[in-house]
Amino acid sequence: MDSVSALLDSIADVGRDAFRGGYSRGVYTGAELTLREWFAEEARRRGLAVETDRNGILWGWWDAGEGGRAGALVTGSHLDSVPGGGAYDGPLGVTSALAAVDLLRARGVRPNRSLAVAVFPEEEGSRFGVSCLGSRLLTGAIDADAARNLTDADGVTFAEASRAAGIDPAHLGRDDGTLANIGDFVELHVEQGRGLIDLDSAVAVGSTVLGHGRWRLSVSGQGNHAGTTLMADRADPMIAAAQIVLAVRSVARAEDGARATVGRLQPVPGGTNVIASRVDLWLDIRHEDDAVTAALVERIHGKAQMAAAFEGCSVNLTAESRSGTVSFDPALQRTLQNSLKGAPLLPTGAGHDAAVLSGLVPAAMLYVRNPTGVSHSPEEFVERDDADAGAAALADVLEDLL
């Protein structure tokens, strides 16, 4: 039987990023593939039957009960990371699921229905731009062709990356057979803000996931020479991009509950002595009301058009992904709270595969305290005792649901 910390320690060297700090474990890159192999080995060590489905979701099956796999209880999370991410976002849920299987076995639990641990690919959308890509494909929330044609920063398509990882891209897409196997889904995740610090609790039950979306703004101007082009003669998209970044902040600050971020900006061609011909900015916008999010995007687009025109540039807006606010299944929330003797309820501003699945199957989440209150950063942290408490809470919940 392994503790969550021992399992996390066993992958602590995989995908370390010396430049950014933390971990860069892009989906289907060497690091994430190593983690997928690690998961398969750990699952087999526990007697789970390991399979990869049509969408690259990894499954470790504890087959039990008379109903076969239909309506099984599923737990799990993801192993991919943001660039320079922490050690817990994703892997905490996977390692806790494995530790919970150990605990259930040690408690002598004999399940009345099958239990599976699932690992979803590209939860972060860090490589191909669309978050929760595996669960979106599984549920049909993204068109298979659109997914196949997504490209990474090097122009590799998701279809090519899937094929290289041993997954036939022709079979990507909504998978009713696999969906029918999920009776309930419970994802454990590191808490990604100050929620549990402020509640003074190690574990919480998820209530809602804030609606979120991603857009790309491409500002085009005149690429030119940094030394020979007089300041008055420039159509520099970087200047417009700078104005747009400031506009994003002012638009979001003026709207109650809104969060808007430009976390990625790319000048093309990107030379020190080159006035860019184009600058791409990626926007992440979150608000509980989809109509407000749409209005925020419109406002930002309007300001971007003005900023671009003022610099003699033009701007193009593309929507990359959207997810509405999700409230988790109330009955399942109550079941989890009962199992955990009144653990607090906690909303989150972070996206999760559980939120994507919740449109089609009862889904729930457990959060484990993060004493730094920081996530998507190497400073993300979970105390060993809290990690153990989380795995025990997950085992309690699974035992009651089995």
Contact positions vs ligand GLV (CB under 6 A): 124, 131, 350-351
Closer CB to ligand GLV, residue 42 or residue 122?
122
Contact 321, 282 (CB under 8 A): no
Nearest distance from residue 82's CB to Mn ion, in Å? 6
Total residue length of the chain:
402
- Shortest Å, Cβ 324 to Mn ion: 18
Do residues 193 and 367 touch, judged by C-beta distance below 8 A?
no
Q: Could you say which of Mn ion, ligand GLV, none residue 353 binds, taking C-beta under 5 to 8 angstroms by partner kind?
A: none
CA terminus-to-terminus distance, the chain? 20
Radius of gyration of the chain (CA): 22
Q: Counting contacts by CB under 5 A, is residue 353 touching Mn ion?
A: no
Q: Which H or E run includes 227?
A: none
* Distance in Å, CB of 124 to ligand GLV, minimum: 6
Window of 15-23, 86-94, 199-207, 239-247 that interacts with Mn ion by CB under 5 A:
86-94
Which amino acid, one-letter code, is at 281?
L
- Are 80 and 123 a contacting pair, CB within 8 Å? yes
If you ran DSSP here, which 8-state letter would residue 246 be given? H
Q: Identify residue 186 by its one-letter amino acid code.
A: V
C-beta of 316 vs 377, nearer to ligand GLV:
377
Residue nearer to Mn ion on the CB measure, 90 or 237? 90
| CA 299 – CA 391 distance, rounded (Å) | 44
From 90, 134, 206, 362, residue interacting with Mn ion (rule: CB under 5 A): 90
Q: Nearest approach, Cβ of 365 to Mn ion (angstroms)?
A: 10
Nearer to ligand GLV, 99 or 132 (CB): 132
In the bound complex, what is the minimum distance in angstroms from residue 266's beta carbon to ligand GLV? 19
CA-to-CA distance for 183 and 298, rounded, in angstroms?
Answer: 39
- Pick the closer one to ligand GLV by CB: 32 or 124: 124
**Interface segment toward Mn ion; rule CB under 5 A; list 34-42, 87-95, 125-133, 309-317:** 87-95
Q: What is the DSSP string of 34-53?
A: HHHHHHHHHHHHTTPEEEE-
Which of the choices Mn ion, ligand GLV, none does residue 351 contact, using the CB cut-off of 5 to 8 A by kind? Answer: ligand GLV
- Cα–Cα distance for residue pair 295/161, rounded to 1 Å: 35
Rule CB under 5 A: say whether 89 interacts with Mn ion.
yes
Name the minimum Å distance from CB 273 to Mn ion.
Answer: 37
Contact residues toward Mn ion (CB under 5 A) are 89-90
